[in-house]
Chains A and B, each alone.
Chain A
Amino acid sequence: MWKHARHRAIFIDGEKQCKGSVAQNRLSMLGVFFVLAYMVLGLRLMELSIVQGNMLTFDLSNDAEMSDTMVSKIVERRGAVYDRNGFLLATTLKTPSLFVDPSLVINPEQLMSDLMVAIPDLDAEKAARAIMAKNRFGWVKHNITPEQQQNILEIGNPALGFEAEYKRFYPQGRLFSHMLGYTDRDGLGLSGVERGFDDVLSAGDDVRMTIDLRLQHVVRREVSKAMSDFTAKAGAGLIMDARTGEVLAGVSLPDYDLNMAGEAKDHEKFNRLSLGTYELGSMFKIFSTAALLELHDVGMSYTFDARKPIKVGWHTINDYHAQKRIMTVPEVFMHSSNIGSAMMGKMVGGAALRDFYDDLGLIERMSFDLKEVGKPLIPDSPWRDSTTMTVSYGHGLATTPIQMSAAVASVVNGGMAVSPSLVMRNKGQGIKNDVRVLSGETSEKMRKLLRLTVTKGTGRNAGAEGFAVGGKTGTAEKSVNGKYRRDKLISSFVGAFPMDNPRYVVMVMVDEPKGNKKSYGYATAGWVAAPAVKRIVTSMASVLGLASDQYDPAQDISADLMPYVHDRKKGGKKLASY
């Protein structure tokens, strides 16, 4: 019983305890839950108000700037372009573009007049159309300036907003127009390096050009001076490294501002350096003479009878400033005798001359870093005698100035083929110049001849003091409607220096120059282009730090040729250099 009672008592007690503890437990659990919940709320409150509140006090003003607006990440920022010394030529900047939400516009007239004050160069018609439209978004103006953005912010109209857009910017404006080129609004390269290296740039990588900004400026200045001095239509000029073919400066005039490429006219956009092909005239005598010296065992004393014009079929070959005598090789070259050069060409023969031109890269379209490359105009093969003879002095075939300069570089640099480049390559990936196109001896002879042309011949005006400049004039009549016109010339000069071991090739071409008083009415290469080359060489010296006392006139390489030069009269002031 006791046992039973006890058992029972415990049972009752247990039951009692059980019921009581369940309620108690639930209550206390609820209590703990509420305490914890309030604690969480309290802590969260503390966190938000005190802990994080402290953090929010940083520069709110700065954060409100537009520059935080992210440009849609899909578009990679286009790579920059630098000159060979790392000077910035093209960059992509984030600029604000202004849009309007027409549904929020309350007073369109007021908004329009505010906008016209804020952005003076606004296209009012376009803006008005955007404001009056029935949709919720319209561009007012792309790529506004920071100042204009500030003006807009001061209007404080909630209907207006900004979105960041990429804009290509060319700090040098028109200095690099044809070499650098430009892009469309979507960042697609349309010309120049922007087009030629579009894949590299659009992947976000930078490009370094071979051009030296300072030399580019020098060439542009001097070509435009030659153009204005002789009221010419157009011009081109370049400096090339004679060994590597790197273009150190390349100018085509007239040019245009890359930042306003859309407004440029076609004749401004035309690249006269690598796309335009021109009959460059007597410059080709460099190559026909080199071909003769390379392929035939002909000494400098070899003579050509230039007393009478040559008749080839219906064509008569004349000398423009006829010496009317028997001339040696150096004389033919320095006086730029068409008759003599034609005879040289005939000696070489059509097929061999064509092959020689081909080796120098004058026949085929040149491979270059730009896509704008003109195809040379060359008479159809095989060359008959008449063709061969006219082609020897540069008549009846047209090339681009840059192609011509590269061929001249190959002739003077010791005989290695040069292919021009406009963009720096990584070490070891450069264009190789290891193909020999003529012998070292021929190259040396040609250097002497070119130097002689400047010391005694048609290129005298290119002689820069203190530098052994050598070169060749080229004056060609332009063909207008199939007829050559004596009053419309292309006057050009290609030079190289220092002539004992040339490092630079400099070329200037002027389209339709008109003679002036200073040039005694002449508009030929010796008067127009040669002085420009001289001025370029002079300025190059100060830019590149080339000392002028390294040249010793007593050691001049052209002195070797003097025994073969028999001038009847001293070089007159009037040199009509063709």
Chain B
Amino acid sequence: MRVAFFKYVVVIMLVVLSGAVLMEVSQRVQRAEREISRLDRKIERERERVRILDAEWAYLNDPARLEAMARAGLEMSSPEAGALISNTSTIPDIDVFVEGASSMTRDISYQKAVP
């Protein structure tokens, strides 16, 4: 009688316990699934945002626009054909520059005059 009672108690406890564990697991699965779909949506959203930003970046990098901005804002112009050289040792020393000889010399001679 006692043994039988004890057996029932154990069995019921096991049933309750396993039920609780099962529920916990199913809860976790549901939660995880929801989290996955949420993250999937978020990733998709971020990807879309990255795509838009990529497109915007490409749009802003329109060379015609950059060129106009560099000209207007930085007073820059395209280098002349002879300006790009591979051997830097052929560049003459600052002393060799003559003031006003070309637009390049102006700043340097200015710096020399005002130490």
Contact (Cβ within 8 A) A549 B48: no
Which parts of A529-553 form the interface with B (CB within 8 Å)? 537-539, 541-542, 545-550
- The answer to whether A339 has its CB under 8 Å from any CB of chain B is no
Question: With an 8 A cutoff between CB atoms, is A121 at the interface?
Answer: no
Q: Which residue on chain B has the smallest CB distance to residue A77? A: B51
Determine if B55 and A68 form an interchain contact, defined as CB atoms under 8 angstroms apart.
Answer: no
Does A262 belong to the interface (CB within 8 Å)? no
- Please report the C-alpha to C-alpha distance between residue A94 and residue B45 in the assembled complex, in whole angstroms: 10
User: Which residue from B42, B55, B80, B85 sits with its C-beta under 8 Å from A91?
Assistant: B55
Interface flag for A135 (CB, 8 Å): no
List, in ascending order, chain A residues with CB within 8 A of B63's CB. 175, 213-214, 217
Chain A minimum-CB-distance residue to B12: A32
Q: Which of A235-243, A374-382, A460-468 sits within the interface? A: A460-468
A67 at the interface (CB under 8 A from B): yes
B85 contact set on A, CB distance < 8 A: 547-549
- Once bound together, how far apart are the Cα atoms of A306 and B41, in whole Å? 78
The residues of B that contact A47 with a CB separation of less than 8 Å are: 23, 27
Chain A's nearest CB lies how many Å from the CB of B92?
13
A93 and B48 within 8 A (CB): yes
Contacts of B48 in A (CB 8 A): 67, 93-94
- Taking the complex as formed, is A43 at the interface, i.e. its CB lies under 8 A from any CB of chain B? yes
B103 in the interface (beta carbon within 8 A):
no
A89 interface residue per 8 A CB criterion = yes
Bin chain B's interface residue count. 35 or more
Instruction: Chain A residues near B84: list those with CB within 8 A.
Output: 466, 541-542, 545-548
Is A65 interfacial (CB 8 A cutoff)? yes
B-side contacts of A549, CB under 8 Å: 85-87, 90
B64 — which chain A residues lie within 8 A by C-beta?
Answer: 175, 217, 221
In the complex, what residues of B have CB within 8 A of residue A520's CB?
A: none
Residues in A neighbouring B82, C-beta threshold 8 A: 465-466, 548
Q: Is B71 an interface residue (CB 8 A)?
A: no
B62, CB-defined interface residue at 8 Å:
yes
- Looking at chain B's contact residues, the main secondary structure is helix
In this assembly, does A172 line the interface, its C-beta being within 8 Å of a C-beta of chain B?
yes
A-B pair number, CB within 8 angstroms? 94
What is the bound-complex CA distance between A549 and B81, given in angstroms? 10
**Distance in Å from the Cβ of B7 to the closest Cβ of chain A?**
17
Q: Nearest Cβ in chain B — how far from A452, in angstroms?
A: 20
How distant is the Cα of A62 from the Cα of B44 in the complex, in angstroms?
A: 13
Provide the residues of chain B in CB contact with A68, threshold 8 Å.
41, 45
Q: How far is the CA of A550 from the CA of B87 in the complex (A)?
A: 9
* Interfacial residues of chain A within 125-177, with CB under 8 A of chain B in the complex: 169, 171-173, 175
Q: How far is the CA of A91 from the CA of B51 in the complex (A)?
A: 8
Asked if A172 meets B62 with Cβ closer than 8 Å, knowing A465-B80, A538-B80, A547-B86, the reply is yes
Residues of B59-105 whose CB lies within 8 A of A: 59, 61-64, 67, 78-87, 90
A88 within 8 A of B: yes
State whether the Cβ of A33 lies closer than 8 Å to any Cβ in chain B.
no
Chain A residue with Cβ nearest B30: A52
Which residue from A65, A464, A539 sits with its C-beta under 8 Å from B45?
Answer: A65
Q: How far is the CA of A476 from the CA of B85 in the complex (A)?
A: 38
Give the Cβ gap from A495 to chain B, nearest Cβ, in Å: 14
Q: Are B27 and A91 in contact (CB under 8 A)?
A: no
Give the Cβ gap from A336 to chain B, nearest Cβ, in Å: 25
Cβ of A51 under 8 Å from chain B: yes
**B56 closest partner in A (C-beta):** A171
CB of A266 closer than 8 Å to a CB of B: no
Chain A residue numbers with a CB within 8 Å of B56 are 171
Interface residue? B38 (CB, 8 A): yes
A172 and B31 CA atoms in complex are apart in Å by: 45
B107 located at the interface, meaning its Cβ lies under 8 Å from any Cβ of chain A in the complex: no
Across the interface, do A171 and B58 meet the contact criterion of CB distance under 8 Å?
A: yes
- Contact yes or no, A93 B51, CB < 8 A: yes
A321–chain B nearest beta-carbon distance, Å: 28
User: How far, in whole Å, are A465 and B85 apart by their CA atoms in the complex?
Assistant: 12
Considering the chains assembled together, what is the distance between the CA atoms of A213 and B64 in angstroms? 11
Q: Does A484 interact with chain B (Cβ within 8 Å)?
A: no
CB closest chain-B residue, reference A55: B31
CB neighbours of B106 from chain A (8 A): none
Q: Please name the residue on chain A nearest to B24 by beta carbon.
A: A51
Does the CB pair A173–B86 fall under 8 Å?
no
Q: Residues of B contacting A58 with CB < 8 Å?
A: 38
Q: Is A172's CB under 8 angstroms from B58's CB?
A: yes
| Inter-subunit contact A67/B55 (CB<8 Å) | no
Contacts of A11 in B (CB 8 A): none
Q: Is B52 an interface position by the 8 A CB rule? A: yes
Which A residues have a C-beta under 8 Å from some C-beta of B? 43, 47, 51-52, 55, 58, 62-63, 65, 67-68, 87-89, 91-94, 169, 171-173, 175, 213-214, 217, 221, 464-467, 537-539, 541-542, 545-550
Q: List 26 A-B contacts (CB under 8 A).
A: A47-B27, A58-B38, A62-B42, A62-B45, A68-B41, A68-B45, A88-B57, A88-B58, A89-B58, A91-B51, A92-B51, A93-B48, A169-B55, A171-B56, A175-B64, A217-B64, A221-B64, A465-B80, A465-B82, A466-B81, A538-B81, A542-B84, A545-B84, A546-B84, A548-B81, A548-B82
Given A68-B45, A88-B54, A88-B57, 10 additional A-B pairs, CB 8 A:
A62-B42, A62-B45, A88-B55, A221-B64, A466-B82, A538-B78, A542-B78, A546-B84, A547-B85, A548-B83
Closest 4 CB pairs of A and B: A547-B86, A171-B58, A217-B63, A88-B58
